[in-house]
């Protein structure tokens, strides 16, 4: 880099340095004697593409990893992808559908071929995109949840839990997604208030022979298409209105099937009509009532959400079409009493947005009781901390009410459940077909391999990703608690921090903790940092349909990855939603440019050993050194509390305000003059420290400049440069410089108010104890000559106060006495009130008696300062009045 352009161009440097880092394997980690710092990536969907949520999450991860690396730890960030069974399978199904192929038609094996093809084609794109963002993942360790070793781990854990008795097969009411044709877990159902109707239907009382009498009861339902599956009408036993129904039978409208009236406390008397139609096959609560009262279960809706033959009428119609049609039929038959508008919560599938159909089916479950208890303890004991803490409450609530986990999915893309059915319907659970055959033969010696039929279902994706922090290092371990952890697992586990969104706190975070406790006897990570959801600046979620989701790669191309990273971090305090605005990225780009140009200035300095260091430069060097240390301590504190945006803002201001606006202006030689070697060296040292400080956030520009500020050898990198350490400094240095800064601000204020051109040198008179060594700094920074005086007699100009020092800018003939007087009187008025307040406090006996000494001491100082200011102001007013 010979000449620096006036503007920083990210495009030209980012790819170059990423390749350099890759070439030198700087991201790669192997166990060694250093302290490990480990993060496992929240694996994105293998066929997904990068969105703003990923940008936020992975930027945070990368900042933590790069920081740890510079702190001298052996940092390892394990990347990888998730097979995402439902999401991926539905994409493949859609692709095949477009080709006119259905999944059932081609069968499991053929379908999986297509799925793998799809994975090969689209898989891992997102990892390439993370490289563009600058993520320093250990790519040699890239994992995929469905790669053979990790799939084996999944199967082994299934067998392990089965043999432990925690996995069982049961017929349960599950959330059926009629579009994806699979059961989904409770957590994958989103309840949305949905407008519908409340249909009031008459059910006539039977005369006992299946014929209607003229008496009837009224039920209210939102799902009239399910009446054919009714098994009973239920009323509350305490409901006097319905005592007459006791023991009666009623006829289902249209089909005239006879069903009993039963009593159950579940029915709310003041809701609807107080009569509930019980449809065990198509409603969770009804199913439970059915169990209590031994009611038959009649399923009339098939897997696709269509009515089947058992419905007798409307056979083959979609449930929503059937609803419309049956209403008409009921009306014609005289069973429809009235229709009300009604809004009720309806469950929708998270993936397909189809209305969930409660459906009875055989599913595999994992018992949660013990696992949830362990996982709750991990967090309650503080072994794993949540940031922000508020999520502990949510977590506790869930853990205390955890239901058994439905782990089977009626899909093909995923790990197939290792249960093998014998011809008689019994089954064995083993990790391999061979072992299954052996086990089956133990039951029945004549069984051949071809007699066994493996369960058709696959496992929930989370049943593989919950092993992630373990399986990425040692896939042998999960499922084999007795197995000695391999070298990697022993070294890297437990990982340190996990950065993820709160939406998967139960899906993933909780379950990783369970798996960690179960298989490792140890929590999988020490801290979980929950990011917010990225929204647009109007607060709407990013979505494809709204078109408000920018493509991160386009942004990176336009502004550079460093700018994008800063833009995301600037507005992201933990746990708060992020309101994304491109302006923030522009701010990031502006900061890159600022850094760039501050280096251009220093690089352009001519250095001459013949030049003596100016007093102003000497003071500035001393000050910035102290200021740097002070700020580094603050930054470290922010990092330790995961206040990443605060850490960034602190560095941002150190760089922009302190370094550029104050320090560089103070040491800058006059135009055309060279700078002395001491100042030059110090400045480069400071600049390097700043680059190192900001490197975790802005990896590219910092590498680019770091490589230029001194001769570097091939293989050297800022990535492994040590984070600047706090050096001892004198508080006095900071205080004195701060006083000089306030003085400069005062003079600049006068200049601005009076519209005095910057080039016009001013004369500043200071009365009071101003540190002499700061005079050159003031003179340099506001183009003035400073004169220490004992009074301002006869001088014309504008006065101002800096703390308790009176200052005066001489301005012959340019002063409006009346204005000055007005200003001074206002100031005096303020000070008098201030003094009054302070004295009120000090004269309050209880305050003096109760407040800590330091607080009282401070009040006394306020009083003294105020008094001297008042004195100065009064004098000033007097002299103005007489002039």
Partner RNA sequence: GGGCGGUUAGCUCAGCUGGUUCAGAGCACCUGCCUUACAAGCAGGGGGUCACUGGUUCGAAUCCAGUACCGCCCACCA
In the region spanning residues 80 to 109, those forming contacts with RNA, defined by CB under 7 A, are none
Tell me which residues in 658-697 interact with RNA (CB under 7 A). 660-661, 664-665, 668, 671-672
Q: Which is nearer to RNA, 716 or 863 (CB)?
A: 863
- Letter string b/e over residues 66-105, b meaning 16 or more CB atoms within 10 A of that residue's CB: bbbbbeebbbbbbbbbbbbbbbbbbbbbeebeeeeeebee
Two tokens at 610?
Answer: 């013949």
Q: Which of 268, 787, 819, 871 binds RNA (CB under 7 A)?
A: 268
Q: CB nearer to RNA: give 170 or 345.
A: 345
CB of residue 435 vs RNA: minimum separation in angstroms?
36
What secondary structure does DSSP assign to 132-201, as a single string? HTT----GGG-EETTSHHHHHHHHHHHHHHHHHT-EEEEEEEEEEETTTTEEE-GGGEEEEEEEEEEEEE
Examine residue 222 and tell whether it contacts RNA (CB under 7 A).
Answer: yes
Q: Give me the helix-helix angle, 699-709 and 561-570, nearest 10°.
A: 120
Q: CB of residue 596 vs RNA: minimum separation in angstroms? A: 8
Q: Least CB distance from residue 80 to RNA, whole Å?
A: 26
Three-state secondary structure call for residue 411: coil
Lay out the sheet containing 419-421: strands in order across.
427-429, 419-421, 453-454
Q: How many residues make contact with RNA (CB under 7 A)?
A: 95
CB of 190 to RNA, least distance (A): 8
Residue 754 in contact with RNA, rule: CB under 7 A? no
Query: Which of 851, 874, 877, 879 lies at the binding interface for RNA (CB under 7 A)?
Result: 851
CB nearer RNA, residue 260 or residue 494:
260
Query: Tokens 């220490």 map to which residue?
Result: 788
Site for RNA in 385-404 (CB under 7 A): 390, 393-394, 397-398, 401
Contacting range for RNA; rule: CB under 7 A; set: 30-38, 240-248, 703-711, 852-860 = 852-860
Which listed range, 114-122, 305-313, 455-463, 584-592, lies at the site for RNA (CB under 7 A)?
Answer: 584-592
Nearer to RNA (CB atom), residue 17 or residue 800: 800
Pick between residue 119 and residue 680 the one whose CB is nearest to RNA: 680
- Residue 234 burial (CB < 10 Å; 0-12/13-18/19+)? buried
Q: Which stretch binds RNA (CB under 7 A): 146-154, 330-338, 368-376, 593-601?
A: 593-601
Q: How far is the CB of 436 from RNA (least distance, A)?
A: 35
Cβ closest to RNA, residue 151 vs residue 185:
185
Q: What per-residue string of b and e applies to 195-233 under the rule 16 or more CB within 10 Å gives b? A: eebbbbbbbbbbeeeeebeeebbebbbbbbbbbbbbbbb
Q: Which is nearer to RNA, 325 or 594 (CB)?
A: 594
Q: Nearer to RNA by C-beta: 103 or 257?
A: 257
> What residues from 522 to 541 belong to the interface with RNA (CB under 7 A)?
537, 539
316 in helix, strand or coil? coil
Task: Write the CA distances from 250 to 227, 271, 662, 672, 784, integer angstroms.
Answer: 12, 21, 89, 104, 101
Could you tell me the smallest distance in angstroms from the CB atom of residue 766 to RNA? 18
User: Residue 439 interacts with RNA (CB under 7 A)?
Assistant: no
Taking the complex as a whole, the smallest distance from the CB of residue 659 to RNA amounts, in Å, to 8
**Using CA atoms, how far apart are residues 509 and 521, in angstroms rounded to an integer?**
16
- Residues 126-185 close enough to bind RNA by CB under 7 A: none
- What is residue 82's DSSP assignment? B
Residue 875 found at the interface with RNA (CB under 7 A): no
Task: Name the H helices within 7-145.
Answer: 10-23, 52-70, 85-98, 103-122, 125-132
- Provide, rounded to whole angstroms, the least separation between the CB of residue 620 and RNA: 13
Could you tell me if residue 208 is left (phi over 0), alpha (psi between -120 and 50 degrees) or otherwise beta?
Answer: left
- Closer to RNA by CB, 24 or 862: give it: 862
Q: Work out which of 152, 225, 263, 283 binds RNA, going by CB under 7 A.
A: 283
Pick the binder of RNA from 450, 640, 755, 790 (CB under 7 A). Answer: 755
Residue 425: CB atoms within 10 Å: 6
Judged by beta carbon, residue 581 or residue 716, the one nearer RNA is: 581
598 binds RNA (CB under 7 A): yes
Subset of residues 26 to 85 that bind RNA, contact rule: CB under 7 A: none
Of 12, 681, 727, 844, which lies in the binding site for RNA, with binding defined by CB under 7 A? Answer: 844
Among 186, 207, 258, 380, binds RNA (CB under 7 A): 186
Q: Give min distance, CB of 440 to RNA, in A.
A: 38
Question: Which residue's structure tokens are 């993942």?
Answer: 137
- In the set 40, 520, 589, 617, which binds RNA (CB under 7 A)? 589
Choice between 788 and 848, CB closer to RNA: 848
Q: What are phi and psi of 55, to 5 degrees?
A: -60, -50
In Å, the largest CA–CA distance within the chain is 122
For residues 430 and 436, what is the distance between their CA atoms, to the nearest angstrom? Answer: 5
Q: Is 316 left (phi over 0), alpha (psi -120 to 50) or beta?
A: left
Binding positions for RNA, 237-256, rule CB under 7 A: none
Contact pick of 20, 216, 421, 834 for RNA (by CB under 7 A):
834
Distance CA 293, CA 280 (A): 11
Query: Which one of 41, 220, 429, 654 is in contact with RNA (CB under 7 A)?
Result: 220
Stretch of 19-27, 320-328, 749-757, 817-825 lying at the interface with RNA (CB under 7 A) = 749-757
Closest separation between CB of residue 840 and RNA, Å? Answer: 9
Residue 223 is a binding residue for RNA (CB under 7 A): yes
8 Å CB contact between 31 and 491: yes
DSSP symbol at 508 = I
For RNA, the closer of residues 73 and 594 by Cβ is 594
Q: Return d(Cα 288, Cα 882) in angstroms, integer.
A: 96
Comparing CA positions, the residue from 136, 66, 135, 75 lying closest to residue 691 is 66
- What span, in angstroms and rounded, lies between the C-alpha atoms of 394 and 392? 5
* Phi, psi dihedrals of residue 367, rounded to the nearest 5°: -65, 135
Give the shortest CB-1-to-RNA separation in angstroms: 15
Answer for which of 332, 434, 551, 657 binds RNA (CB under 7 A) is: 657
Piece of 24-32, 66-74, 583-591, 608-616 that binds RNA (CB under 7 A)? 583-591
What dihedral do alpha carbons 637, 639, 642, 648 form, nearest 10°?
110
In whole angstroms, the minimum distance from the beta carbon of 393 to RNA comes to: 4
With contact defined as beta carbons under 8 Å apart, do 571 and 579 qualify?
yes
Site for RNA in 6-25 (CB under 7 A): 6-8
Task: Answer yes or no: are the C-beta atoms of 810 and 750 closer than 8 Å.
Answer: no
Of residues 286 through 315, those in contact with RNA by CB under 7 A are none
Q: Among residue numbers 631 through 650, which ones bind RNA (CB under 7 A)?
A: 645-646, 649
Sign of the Cα pseudo-torsion (6, 8, 9, 15, in order): positive
**Residue with token string 């406390």:** 265
By CB under 7 A, residue 454 contacts RNA? no
Q: What is the three-class DSSP state of 248?
A: coil
Binding to RNA (CB under 7 A) within 319-378 occurs at 344-345
Q: Which is nearer to RNA, 222 or 879 (CB)?
A: 222
Q: With CB under 7 A as the contact rule, which of the stretches 128-136, 202-210, 743-751, 870-878 interacts with RNA?
A: 743-751
Task: For residue 294, count other CB atoms closer than 10 A to its CB.
Answer: 8
Segment 503 to 522, residues that bind RNA, using CB under 7 A: 503, 506
Positions in 540-579 near RNA (CB under 7 A): 570-571, 573, 576-577, 579
């Amino acid at each position: 880099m010979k000449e620096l352009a006036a503007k920083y161009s990210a495009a030209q440097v980012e790819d170059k340095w990423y390749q350099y880092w890759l070439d030198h394997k700087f991201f790669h980690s192997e166990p060694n004697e250093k302290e490990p710092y480990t993060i496992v990536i929240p694996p994105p969907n293998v066929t997904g593409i990068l969105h703003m949520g990923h940008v936020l999450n992975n930027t945070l991860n990368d900042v933590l990893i790069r920081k740890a690396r510079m702190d001298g730890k052996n940092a390892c960030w394990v990347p990888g992808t998730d097979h995402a069974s439902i999401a991926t399978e539905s994409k493949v199904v859609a692709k095949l559908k477009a080709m006119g192929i259905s999944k059932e038609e081609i069968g499991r094996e053929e379908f999986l071929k297509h799925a793998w093809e799809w994975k090969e084609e689209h898989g891992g794109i997102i990892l390439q995109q993370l490289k563009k963002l600058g993520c320093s993942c250990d790519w040699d360790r890239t994992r995929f949840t469905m790669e053979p070793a990790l799939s084996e781990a999944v199967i082994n854990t299934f067998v392990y839990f089965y043999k432990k008795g925690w996995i069982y097969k049961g017929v349960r009411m599950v959330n059926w997604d009629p579009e994806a044709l699979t059961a989904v877990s409770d957590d994958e159902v989103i309840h949305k208030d949905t407008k519908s109707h409340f249909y009031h239907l008459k059910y006539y009382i039977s005369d006992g022979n299946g014929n209607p009498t003229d008496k009837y009861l009224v039920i209210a339902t939102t799902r009239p298409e399910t009446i054919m599956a009714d098994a009973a009408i239920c009323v509350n036993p305490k409901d006097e209105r319905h005592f007459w129904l006791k023991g009666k039978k009623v006829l289902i409208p249209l089909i005239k099937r006879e069903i009993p009236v039963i009593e159950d406390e579940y029915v709310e008397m003041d809701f609807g009509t107080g009569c509930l139609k019980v449809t065990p096959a198509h409603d969770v609560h009804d199913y439970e009532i059915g169990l209590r009262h031994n009611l038959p279960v009649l399923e009339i809706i098939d897997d696709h959400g269509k009515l089947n033959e058992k419905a007798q009428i409307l056979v083959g119609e979609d449930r929503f079409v059937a609803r419309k049609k049956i209403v008409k039929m009921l009306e014609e038959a005289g069973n429809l009493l009235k229709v009300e508008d009604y809004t009720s919560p309806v469950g929708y599938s998270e993936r397909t947005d189809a209305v969930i159909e409660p459906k009875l089916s055989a599913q595999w479950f994992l018992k949660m009781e013990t696992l949830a208890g362990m996982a709750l303890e991990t967090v309650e004991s503080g072994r794993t901390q949540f940031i922000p803490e508020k999520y502990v409450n949510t977590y506790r609530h869930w853990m205390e009410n955890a239901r058994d986990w439905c782990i089977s999915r009626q899909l093909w893309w995923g790990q197939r459940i290792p249960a093998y059915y014998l011809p008689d319907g019994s089954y064995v659970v083993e990790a391999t077909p061979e072992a299954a055959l052996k086990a089956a033969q133990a039951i029945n010696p004549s069984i051949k391999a071809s007699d066994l039929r493996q369960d058709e279902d696959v496992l929930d994706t989370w049943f593989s990703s919950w092993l992630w922090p373990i399986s990425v290092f040692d896939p042998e371990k999960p499922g084999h608690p007795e197995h000695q952890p391999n070298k990697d697992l022993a070294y890297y586990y437990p990982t340190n921090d996990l950065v993820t969104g709160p939406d998967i706190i139960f899906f993933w975070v909780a379950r990783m903790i369970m798996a960690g406790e179960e298989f490792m006897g140890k929590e999988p990570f020490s801290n979980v940092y929950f990011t917010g959801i990225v929204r647009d600046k109007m607060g709407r979620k990013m979505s494809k349909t709204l078109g408000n989701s920018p493509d991160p790669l386009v942004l990176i191309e336009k502004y550079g990855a460093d700018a994008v990273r800063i833009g995301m971090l600037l507005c992201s305090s933990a746990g708060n939603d992020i309101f994304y605005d491109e302006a923030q990225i522009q701010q990031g780009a502006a900061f890159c440019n600022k850094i760039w140009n501050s280096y251009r200035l220093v690089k352009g300095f001519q250095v001459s050993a013949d030049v003596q260091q100016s007093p102003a430069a000497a003071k500035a060097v001393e000050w910035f050194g102290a200021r740097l240390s002070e700020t580094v301590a603050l930054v470290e504190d922010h990092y330790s509390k995961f206040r990443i945006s605060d850490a960034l803002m602190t560095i941002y201001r150190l760089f922009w305000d302190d370094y550029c606006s104050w320090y560089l202006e103070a040491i800058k030689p006059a135009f055309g003059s060279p700078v002395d070697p001491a100042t030059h060296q110090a400045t480069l040292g400071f600049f390097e420290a700043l680059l190192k400080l900001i490197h975790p956030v802005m990896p590219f520009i910092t590498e680019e400049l770091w490589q230029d500020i001194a001769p570097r050898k091939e293989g050297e990198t800022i990535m492994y440069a040590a984070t600047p350490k706090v050096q001892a400094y004198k508080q006095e240095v900071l205080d004195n410089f701060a006083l000089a800064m306030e003085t400069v601000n005062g003079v600049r204020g006068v200049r601005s108010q009076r519209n005095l051109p910057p080039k016009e040198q001013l004369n500043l008179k200071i009365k009071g104890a101003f540190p002499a060594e700061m005079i050159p700094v003031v003179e340099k920074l506001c183009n003035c000559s400073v004169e220490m005086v004992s009074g301002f007699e006869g001088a014309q100009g504008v006065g101002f106060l800096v703390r308790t020092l009176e200052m005066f800018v001489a301005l012959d003939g340019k002063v409006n006495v009346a204005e000055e007087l007005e200003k001074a009187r206002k100031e005096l008025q303020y000070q008098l009130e201030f003094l009054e307040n302070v004295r009120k406090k000090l004269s309050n006996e209880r305050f003096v008696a109760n407040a800590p000494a330091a607080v009282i001491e401070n009040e006394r100082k306020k009083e003294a300062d105020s008094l001297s200011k008042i004195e100065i102001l009064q004098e000033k007013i007097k002299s103005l009045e007489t002039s």
